[in-house]
Amino acid sequence: MHPVLRPAVGEDLDALCDLEHRALTIDRFSRRQLYHVLNRANAVTLVAEGGECRLSGYGTFLLRRNSRQARLYSLGVDPGARGRGIGASLLKALVNAAVRRGCERMVLEVRIDNSAALTLYRQAGFMPEAWLTEYYADGCSAWRMSRALTTSLPDLDHQA
């Protein structure tokens, strides 16, 4: 069963804060940051609804004015809902939303110890472009990855 994806709205703030704390262990959005992303930032945030909890996943990309590059800033799936394709569905929808907005490239940073995310991003055509030593607050390094956005993203096989 595919999740129902929709744009996040201001009323999702409490559920997003809860999901952020369930899905991520470090470098989380604060409530204030999530409020800004939902209400003021030049960003696109999509949520996945369904399952045992109200929101089973979400993803956000940021846009800069006068730029054709989108930055995938966060992609999180509730631990109890992982392995069901929610991450892949969100990633596809976010890439396609960036394409519709005229973006030509998407970049992201991913922890080197997050093998599921690395696999998902590689399957989606993202390629490593820079090694970021001790990028995260806990000292974990990261890969900066990018993908040209010349076309929409097809369905992904990975079940993230």
Which residues, including other chains, have CB under 8 Å from residue 12's CB and lie 6 or more apart? 38, 47, 55
Q: In this model, does residue 91 exceed pLDDT 90?
A: yes
Crossing angle for the helix pair 31-39 and 13-23, nearest 10 degrees?
130
CA torsion, ordered 120, 153, 77, 25, to nearest 10 deg: 60
Query: What residues does 49 pair with on adjacent strands?
Result: 4, 55
Dihedral angle computed from the Cα positions of residues 92, 93, 94 and 100, in that order, rounded to the nearest 10 degrees: 110
Q: Does residue 14 sit within a domain? A: yes
Confirm whether 77 is domain-assigned: yes
Q: Report if residue 13 sits inside a domain.
A: yes
Mean pLDDT of 74-97: 92
pLDDT in tens, 46-57: 999 976 668 999
Query: With bands split at pLDDT 50, 70 and 90, how would you rate the model's confidence at 158?
Result: very low
**Within a domain: residue 40?**
yes
Tell me which residue of 111, 115, 66, 72 sits closest to 94, measured CA to CA. 72
Residue 65 in domain: yes
CA 5 to centroid of chain Cα atoms: 13
Q: Is the pLDDT of residue 147 over 60?
A: yes
Residue 27 pLDDT: 77
160 inside domain: no
- Amino acid identity of residue 101, one-letter, is R
CATH code (residue 42) = 3.40.630.30
| 155 part of a folded domain | no
Domain with 71, as residue range(s), is: 4-148
Number of domains comprising the chain: 1
